[in-house]
Structure 1
Amino acid sequence: MSAIPVTIGRRAALSLDSTPVPAGSPLVDTHGRVHRDLRISLTDRCSLRCTYCMPEQGNEWLAKTSILTLDEIELIARVAAADGITTFRLTGGEPLLRTDIVEIVRRLAAIEGPDGRPVEIAMTTNGIRLPEVLPGLAAAGLGRLNISIDTLRRDRFHELTRRDRLEDVLEGIAAAAASGLRPLKLNAVAMRDVNDDELVDLVEFAIAHDAQMRFIEQMPLDAGHTWDRSRMVTQDEILGALAQRWELTPVPGRGGAPAARWTLDGGPHTVGVIASVTAPFCGDCDRLRLTADGQLRNCLFSTTEYDLLPILRGTSGEWEQDIDGMLRACVRGKLPGHAINDPSFLQPARGMNAIGG
């Protein structure tokens, strides 16, 4: 695919209603939301087996032949950037399991938008390989890091992830804290009777590493479809626990960010909460997702995917135009919200590791 010419912006794509839309126009859905963020899953495989994400055994991994190549990822990213995407977040599974991860970051970081500004490259990781690869990632152009850490207790970590790797994660966080990548964010899924007694400890740990702690309401995205709303720790409960230790003040100007933020005792430190269940932020969502096997998704909870593989591996010769058209079709098909709180809600067939964080 390296021989495919990239001539973004010269053709027109068709939206779902067949109205010509010039390639390079912003990706705007039927509800007026402009899309600027593309989350790119690099693999469905992971070095951990978190209970809220995937089974310990019996996982059906994506076929290696279906996984997007470096050239395919770059081509999609170039089209997306020409259409106004300004941030690419690399996810998984665990993105650091890709042996070409540094080259992926280097290729994507070299992409510029229509205004000539380079795109921003972010990554969500469990941090296990960070000490060995972070210097190369930073030199290649990685701008921001989110690291998952649900507990600071070794026994609890082992039970939750089915792997005894807490020390490796902590070393990865230390490496990130020592780097110049900021803001550094630490993510934890808040779970009742699992880690809800560690909320204050996790925030204090983040502060000690010059990072922002972000708590995530547990969502119905586990591969086993065992999510139980009653086991979810809500945003109000999280804030209530933290208010016993700090004075919390809302930070205005959230925009399309998934986390609402509060300052701690007037700042400078903040804490974030991603409350997709009890306080949905769908009205400001500016994100699209690309799975490791080339499926576009317009919502984390979508049951519809837009398949790019036939385009990428076809012989039409119109790859850029066709990718642009698929991006626009995906955006135009986006619903007003995820409907988690509607009785008709259906959990996606894919687990979180296969969709991308």
Structure 2
Amino acid sequence: MSTDVTETTAGTGSARPVAHGRPTVAPVPFDREIAPVLEALAAAPQPGLSRETLAAMREPGLGPGFPSGAELVAGRAVTAEERVIPGPDGAPDLEITVFAPADRGPDPLPVLVNFHGGGMIVGHRSWEHGRVLDLVERHGVVGVNVEYRLAPEDPYPAGAEDNYAATRWVAEHSDELGVDPGRLIVMGGSAGGAFAAAVSLMARDRGGPAIAGQLLLCPMLDNTNSTVSSLQYDGIGTWTRDANLLAWECVLGTELAYSEQAPATAAPSRAADLSGLPPAFIEVGAAEMFRDEDVDYATRIWATGGQAELHVWAGGCHGFDMYMPDAEITRAALASRDSWIARMIGAGVER
């Protein structure tokens, strides 16, 4: 069943995929605890994401506000350190926040390197300080939260190269950070999940650094926007099809935005070969637009003989753990993530 066509966006020449009427498959219902929250969000609409609103959504006073690392660790047995590290060759330096257990012993700790979400066009690492800090507390690891350049001002490959450079720096400065480079996990949600997948591909193809696992939370993998779930959630939920189309246009430009020729390190679904990758944990809601591309990514990893653990949460919307932290579905999802992380940091990788 085909429900997708393309149209030429006025003044750009870009072939933009659009829904042919409404999708012929009804959307999967939202979880009973999630639906009221989404209804409340819809009843108080915010300005839509567009090229005109991007700047406003990035301003601290206008976009979502989140506490600093120092504010979050107050009263907790975790330290937060702000650092500036070298970016890719010829590119600006990168800001990172390093969270670590305050009572750590002398032995090197596993390390999680996190890339924030936001469609590669909005967002800030502070959005996900809480997620990283909680993992540091629960698992006794070091967490590194990375700031990277955003499109359209800095389109592909800026973000991917920034995040690869940060991951390589962490591995190369493991003694300084007190971490074990053989137990390094890359992670992220949405756009951050795309970057974690891309960094895993880059590390494989560039001969390092060694990565013990990739934690991909509702990752944004497929630039073609051609799946059934992409159409089922056209205009529905916390991350809409229109926002996703805009994001890929900003990242890849008009010629490659929806093309199957897009680089795999921008849109990992475009990778022809998914063999030789670190074990993947892939989580997605059944009621969101990234569902089908994420299931396909896990299936293709399995087809190579690789390791992937896939969780599709019934009724889950995009980023349900961030929007509904107290829901039962979130408690179950966090328990599954914790189990996988514990197994990965216990195993590590050969160096």
Superposition TM-score tier, normalisation by shorter sequence: 0.3 to 0.5
State the TM-score, normalizing by the size of structure 2.
0.33
State the TM-score, normalizing by the size of structure 1.
0.32
